[in-house]
Amino acid sequence: MGQLIVTSEILDDLTSVARRFVSDIQVEAVPSIQDRCKAIGLPEDNPFLCGKTVQDLQSDRHLVLLAERITPEMQASVISAMESHAKMPRESIASLTDPHVFVKHLLLHEVAHAIGHDWSEEECDRWAFQQLHIA
């Protein structure tokens, strides 16, 4: 860990991965997910989010918002939360210390929200870990 992830630099690759699962999904790298949500009329209280999936209810299309800059501290916070709350294999969570694995899992987690609208955070994490090897 300890490496800044700049999602805008890999946005095309991330969009390609997301579209393997949801063909019309959009992926954006934004300076602030909270500010982007506010701009589109969605409440969001967490200023430190790494990712969020939103849905346009008129078109039914999904949009994945990724923080443009995911700091090592943001990554550590996500991993710590998963270690504390998720019932995942320890080695799966440990793999997230690799920034490339982290960002891919983050994207897949957000795609999971588009696929399973009523899935819990843990179900989205589990699905994302299952897809990592094929995405």
Which pLDDT score, from 0 to 100, does residue 48 have?
87
Spatial neighbors of 97 by CB under 8 A, at least 6 apart, are 1, 75, 79
Residue 71: predicted pLDDT: 96
pLDDT for 87: 86
3 state SS of 119:
coil
The predicted pLDDT at position 117 comes to 83
pLDDT in tens, the chain (135 residues): 579 999 999 999 999 999 999 999 999 999 999 999 999 899 999 988 999 999 987 888 999 999 999 999 999 999 999 999 878 889 999 999 999 999 999 999 999 999 998 999 999 999 999 999 776
Long-range contacts of 26-30 (CB under 8 A, 24+ apart): 26/61, 26/62, 26/63, 26/64, 27/63, 27/64, 27/66, 27/107, 28/63, 28/64, 28/65, 28/66, 29/66, 29/67, 29/68, 30/65, 30/66, 30/67, 30/68
Which residues constitute the domain of residue 82? 5-131
As for how many domains the chain has, the answer is 1
pLDDT at 6: 98
What single-letter amino acid sits at 1? Answer: M
Distance (Å, rounded) from C-alpha 122 to C-alpha 135? 19
